[in-house]
Structure 1
Amino acid sequence: MIVRGLVAGALALAAGVLWARRRYVVVTVDGMSMAPTLTDGDRVLVRRRRIGQVGQGDVVVLEPPSDPAGGYAPGPPGADGRRWNIKRIAALPGDPVPQGIAAGDGVAHVPSGTLVVLGDNPDSIDSRQRGFFPADRLLGVALRRLGGPAL
């Protein structure tokens, strides 16, 4: 009877871990693009989200758009081999394009399936240089700095 209880407990624990891994991930900030809010080396708890579950002002983790010119080399890839950026959402699809964003001629509103994101540090490489970020590359919303306050 004790063995069955241990097996059931182990299975429940494994199921809980899998559930949590599907919904949450921990990322380590590499760089100063979100300073002073987040600094190099901060560890952040991120809840996986889709475009319809985020709002203006949310701090998000997402892949940058590809750069055909090769002018921007993001930080080293994460454990999954992908390169991630952490930025704050400045505009959502359908919103007016904020001033100073590399949007192209005649683009007045953020196109469907894209986001305008900015680093809190004015020297951040973000939508000011890169234009729109693809919303389908969104990992999730940063909830809190581990060992620190909520964002």
Structure 2
Amino acid sequence: MTSSNWFFVLALVAVAVLMAESVRQLRRRWVLVKVEGVSMEPALRDGQEVLAKRTRRIATGDIVVVAAPDPQLGWADITKAKAPWWVKRVTAVAGEPMPGASGTVPPGHYFLGADNPAGEDSRRHGPCPANLIVGSVIRSF
């Protein structure tokens, strides 16, 4: 093999490594999720996809992607890696009154709501721990 062939092979390998790292970095910052069910209608419909940015800056009114609670245990013992994802609206942050319930949202938690009253949300499962929120929705498709 000539030196120009080696250079071409090394350049190809370098490009492949850089592309793989770019994809890895994008996946760490962004997540694409398909909306399932009617809980977020009319804002989001079943089958739509949403792009969420991984962030800890969450405010009342934001739509977020969150690890879904266990149907029996609620938010207890949930890890983001194993749970399916929900798309819900933040209806109250820590210190704000919980809609439809007595008391305020505890520190490190969010009260999540479905836009459609028929959907499941914090009214059934209680305030969601902040560490279970994957990110904030910035765009729907």
Question: What interval of TM-score do these two structures reach, taking the shorter chain for normalisation?
Answer: 0.7 to 0.9
Deviation per CA, 1:1-51: give whole Å up to 9, x if none.
22222121111111100100111111111101001111111111111123x
How far apart are residue 67 of structure 1 and its match? 4.6
- Flag structure 2 segments of 5+ consecutive residues without an equivalent: 1-6, 75-80
Following TM superposition, the consecutive aligned residue runs of length 4 or more in structure 1 with deviations greater than 6 angstroms are none
Q: Give the TM-score normalised by the residue count of structure 1.
A: 0.76
* Cross-structure match for 1:87: 88
TM-score of the superposed pair, with normalisation by structure 2 = 0.81
Instruction: Name the residue aligned to 1:111.
Output: 106
Note if contact 2:69-2:83 (Cα within 8 Å) is conserved in structure 1.
no
CA distance in 2, matches of 1:81, 1:64: 10
1:23 matched to 2:29: yes
Of 135, 138, 145, 2:140 maps to: 145
Quote the Cα distance in structure 1 between the aligned partners of 2:31 and 2:73. Answer: 31
Q: For structure 1, which runs of at least 5 residues remain unmatched after alignment?
A: 71-79, 102-106, 147-151
SS of 1:30's partner is coil
- Greater C-alpha radius of gyration: 2
Question: Which residue in 2 is equivalent to 1:48?
Answer: 54
Counterpart check, 1:58 vs 2:59: no
Q: Alignment length, in residue pairs?
A: 129
Q: Is the 8 A contact 2:113 2:121 kept in 1?
A: yes
RMSD over aligned CA atoms reads 1.9
